[in-house]
Amino acid sequence: MTEQFFQETQERLIRYAKINTRSDEASTTVPSTACQLDLLHLLVDELKAIGLQEVKFNPENAFVTATLPATSDKPVPTIGFIAHVDTADFNSENVQPRLIPNYDGQDIVLNQAQDIVM
């Protein structure tokens, strides 16, 4: 993996995490909010841009699917990557992802004053 690829992937994930995808439990739509739909459409565009094939958005269930063709001539199993837009009613405005380079597996202190640790 090249440093440029790593950097682009990291930036992409941070950008996704900053998108307000708060759900609405009173909603009768799928996904439950328009901002979740915005993220799904962004994913479709970005999957196409990085070269995946058969990129599709299903409006009935809000699934995004795509195909990454095999790069080997050997018979290898198919791999699926699955994700969903958040379904938690949690404030997702102004999210500021925190990068921890060379994470060593130790506790991550989110708020020392309130003793919030992951």
User: How many angstroms separate the Cα of 61 from the Cα of each of 2, 25, 37?
Assistant: 35, 16, 11
Q: Domain of 21?
A: 3-89
- Token readout for 44 is 């479709």
Residues 29-58 have a mean pLDDT of 90
pLDDT of residue 87: 66
Instruction: Tell me whether residue 54 is in a domain.
Output: yes
Instruction: Tell me whether residue 102 is in a domain.
Output: no
Instruction: Tell me whether residue 94 is in a domain.
Output: no
Check pLDDT > 70 for residue 4. yes
Check pLDDT > 80 for residue 17. yes
- Token readout for 93 is 């405005």
Instruction: Tell me whether residue 80 is in a domain.
Output: yes
Q: Are 36 and 29 in contact (CB under 8 A)?
A: no
pLDDT digits (tens, 9 = 90+) for 69-86: 888 899 988 877 777 776
Q: Label residue 113 by pLDDT band (50, 70, 90).
A: very high
Q: How many domains does the chain have?
A: 1
Assessment of whether the complete model's pTM goes beyond 0.85 = no
Instruction: Tell me whether residue 117 is in a domain.
Output: no
Check pLDDT > 90 for residue 112. yes
Distance CA 22, CA 4 (A): 31
Cα 90 to its chain centre, rounded Å, is 16
pLDDT of residue 19: 87
Q: What length does the chain have?
A: 118
Instruction: Tell me whether residue 118 is in a domain.
Output: no
Match 């090249």 to its residue by tokens: 2
Q: Are 16 and 47 in contact (CB under 8 A)?
A: no
Among 92, 96, 105, CA closest to 20: 92
